[in-house]
Structure 1
Amino acid sequence: MEKLKELPPLSPIPSERELCDTFGVSRPTVRRALEELENDGELVRLPGKGTFVAEKKYVDHAMQWSIGFYEDASMQNKAPTTKVLQQTIVPATAEIAKRLAVQQDSEVFVLERLRFVDGEPICLVTSYLPYALCTDLPKANFAEQSLYAFLKEYGIAIHRAKRSIEVKQANVTEAAYLSIEKDSPIVLFQSLGFMKDGTPFEYVRSRYPAYKARFENEVFQPAVESELP
């Protein structure tokens, strides 16, 4: 661990033979240590390339809480910033209309932002909302203000959400914005938010570089009043 602290992120580590000679231990011992460091997130193994010092990952809690990006990053003592890439009104495609339960070609507000943590691009997020829900959306400065905080001023808040994550390959646009190579693995996080009356009001697609973010969730055993026979 002391040796790793001397190396910048994504630096290759010494070979197993070099580590054996340096610490005077056997190769199985070195391999076990490397496995434990990889499991702890201190190292990352890239097939065909080797083992490298891992970048310190941003931990996203969106799978567990209805929490905004700024609040989540600030709780981790990280500096969040946002660049607005698109803030416009477009006709709803068939897919977006179905998700938001609106008519196809009806007006949808699209907000696309590039999120940074400590100056590094960490997330490309695109949000879709029915424009009729709040016609003041295009006037807001979402580089400085949270979307959820803005909606709350109009009495609109998320009550529940359906969320999923999967791994895909970055296309040219995603790779350019996230400063990674095309076809690099990215985590696609999707969320459909509902208001208290069950109306869907926001569909979100967020893309994270796979090696820079980690999602955390806490699971509880549901309370059972009586055991089945």
Structure 2
Amino acid sequence: MPADPGARPLDRQDPLPLWAQLQRDLSRRLTAGDFATAFPGELDIARGYDVSRHTVREALRRLREAGVLDSARGRPTQVRAAIEQPLGSLYSLFREVENRGMTQTSEILDQSLTTDAEAAAALGLPERARLFHLERVRLADGVPLAHDRVWLPASLAAPLVKADFTRGALYDELAERCGVRVTGGRERISATVPAPAERALLAVPRGVACLTVERSGYADTRLVERRVTVVRGDRWSVVADWTARGWSVGAVAGPG
């Protein structure tokens, strides 16, 4: 039996390697908030689970690669700070990541003028209307967080074809280059099982679902943005706060 009362026993008869079983149980405990005050050191984990430090190191390495933990030489391992998304207000993933001392970058998959019948319909435009399309993988400190696709009418957003979105924020570029400011919108959030291609794109661990966020953005009363964002479910969740005066809904990233 493990010495740590919060740990689940590892099965040495299971074909799944001990490090993978350990990684799975540490992920479970992280999700449950077991390490809210501090994350244990390698030696404490090894004693708590009755495994070698080599097993612990491999499990922690995988957790770091998944963006769950943060560590560097000379300082203890830490659970990555949460990234909060308040719903009911204009939200920028770029600013939220940067405000938490993390580096926001994007891998650009497509940045072009195109046509898309479904996106055009969502924007209330003719089927063959020209659209600006931006597709990117959003990363926080180099770890995939979200797969983001956005469409805007080319009549408004064509200059964005020349913008640099590897670090830039869409709304900033839209305002500066096109004179268009998104002032409000509507979002719909739903749970989803990622397709294999999506799972590979976001490096989603086995058994982890995602959340799909569909946004309609408005410039005053004009619908100007159609966005579909798939977010890793182990790094982002919806939360609600309440008081005697009422309640509000927001969202918060999981560790990473």
TM-score, length-scaled by structure 2: 0.63
Does residue 14 of the first structure (1) align with residue 37 of the second (2)? no
Tell me if the contact between 2:89 and 2:184 (Cα under 8 Å) persists in the aligned partners.
Answer: no
TM-score, length-scaled by structure 1: 0.69
Counterpart Cα distance in 1 of 2:197 and 2:81: 22
Give 1:96 deviation, angstroms.
1.3
User: In structure 2, what is the equivalent of residue 200 of structure 1?
Assistant: 223
Tell me if the contact between 1:89 and 1:110 (Cα under 8 Å) persists in the aligned partners.
Answer: yes
Counterpart Cα distance in 2 of 1:59 and 1:214: 10
Q: Among residues 96, 99, 113, which one is paired with 1:72 in the alignment?
A: 96
Give 1:77 deviation, angstroms.
1.9
Unaligned runs of 5+ in 2: 11-27, 37-58, 69-79, 248-256
1:119-145, Cα deviation, whole Å (9 max, x unpaired): 110111000111111221211111132
Tell me if the contact between 1:64 and 1:217 (Cα under 8 Å) persists in the aligned partners.
Answer: no
User: In structure 1, what is the equivalent of residue 33 of structure 2?
Assistant: 40
Does residue 212 of the first structure (1) align with residue 235 of the second (2)? yes
- Name the stretch that deviates more: 173-182 or 108-117: 173-182
Q: Among residues 185, 193, 205, which one is paired with 2:209 in the alignment?
A: 185
RMSD of equivalent CA atoms: 3.2
Q: 1:14 to 1:74 in 2, by over 3 A?
A: same
- Name the stretch that deviates more: 181-190 or 137-146: 181-190
Sequence identity, in percent?
A: 18
Give 1:159 deviation, angstroms.
1.7
User: In structure 2, what is the equivalent of residue 103 of structure 1?
Assistant: 126
Counterpart Cα distance in 1 of 2:206 and 2:151: 25
User: In structure 2, what is the equivalent of residue 46 of structure 1?
Assistant: none
User: In structure 1, what is the equivalent of residue 183 of structure 2?
Assistant: 159
Does residue 59 of the first structure (1) align with residue 52 of the second (2)? no
Give 1:173 deviation, angstroms.
1.9
1:126-173, Cα deviation, whole Å (9 max, x unpaired): 001111112212111111321100111132111210101111011122
1:188 partner letter: T
Counterpart Cα distance in 2 of 1:218 and 1:203: 28
Tell me if the contact between 2:108 and 2:136 (Cα under 8 Å) persists in the aligned partners.
Answer: yes
Q: 1:40 to 1:215 in 2, by over 3 A?
A: same
What pairs with 1:136-147 in structure 2 (closer than 5 Å)?
136-147=159-170
Tell me if the contact between 2:150 and 2:226 (Cα under 8 Å) persists in the aligned partners.
Answer: yes
- Name the stretch that deviates more: 126-135 or 52-61: 52-61
Tell me if the contact between 2:208 and 2:234 (Cα under 8 Å) persists in the aligned partners.
Answer: no
Give 1:67 deviation, angstroms.
2.8
Q: 1:108 to 1:217 in 2, by over 3 A?
A: farther
Q: Secondary structure at 2:164's aligned position in 1?
A: coil
2:222 partner letter: T
Counterpart Cα distance in 1 of 2:106 and 2:227: 16
Counterpart Cα distance in 2 of 1:41 and 1:158: 40
Q: Secondary structure at 1:70's aligned position in 2?
A: helix
User: In structure 2, what is the equivalent of residue 85 of structure 1?
Assistant: 109
Tell me if the contact between 1:61 and 1:216 (Cα under 8 Å) persists in the aligned partners.
Answer: no
